[in-house]
Amino acid sequence: MKSLRSFSIRSGEIFAIAGVSGNGQVEIAEAITGLAKVSSGTIKLGGREITNETTRKRMLAGISYIPEDRQRYGLVLNFTLEDNLVLKDYFKEPFTQKGILHKEEFSKYSHQLIEKYDVRGGQGNKTIVRSMSGGNQQKAIIAREIELQSPLMIFVQPTRGLDIGAVENINKQMIAERDKGKAILLISLELDEIMTCADTIGVIYNGELQKT
């Protein structure tokens, strides 16, 4: 293995970072998405520097993010499933026109995603997300982030706490997005998941990224 001061992810590649919890893997994801400030170095997306861009501008530039803590960072728990599925699109057409929210578009879009990704809630798209199972909460996040069609997708512990069926389904979705040409950063503590999905593996060791 060799030590890296930087790394890049190509289109059509799953780059996985492994290592013991607390070694800085999550901080890498937060730095790329703008949730954490970068003290040195630069971040580029498709050749464009985004180091000082806001989180929203990075998302609009082409980053999807499935966070480690789905309830704290991925969802607004007291909102409906419908509202959570449009959290990153509500300010765009057709959801908003001339500053007015069009709830019928929210409803139509959320029904499409619920059916496509088999997201289950007791009251359909009107289900309060807090009442949903962890697996269905994660399905909702992944549905929303995949549908952004971002060239870079970041998955942090995407299957933590989920049953075997949900784990297999999410791994298949990740690989399918890779096969469509997406660049994917996977951060996981599950070695089996990394070995199943990754094309390239990096390991955090003594605070440095080692590439295998």
Provide, rounded to the nearest whole percent, the portion of the chain with pLDDT above 90: 81
Domains in the chain, CATH or no CATH each:
2-211 (3.40.50.300)
| pLDDT, tens digit, 9 for 90 and up, residues 113-143 | 999 999 999 999 999 999 999 999 999 999 9
| pLDDT, tens digit, 9 for 90 and up, residues 57-82 | 999 999 999 999 999 999 999 999 99
pLDDT confidence bin for 52, thresholds 50/70/90? very high
Strands 48-49 and 63-66, how do they pair?
Answer: unpaired
Q: Which residues of 21-51 are buried (b: 16+ CB within 10 A; e: fewer)?
A: eebebbebbbbbbbeeeeeeeebebeeeebe
pLDDT confidence bin for 40, thresholds 50/70/90? confident
For residue 73, give the DSSP letter: I
**Number of residues assigned to the chain:** 212
Contact 34, 59 (CB under 8 A): no
* The pLDDT of residue 4: 54
Contact 79, 71 (CB under 8 A): no
Report whether pLDDT(48) > 60: yes
Mean pLDDT of 10-23: 90
Mean pLDDT of 44-65: 96
Mean pLDDT of 50-61: 96
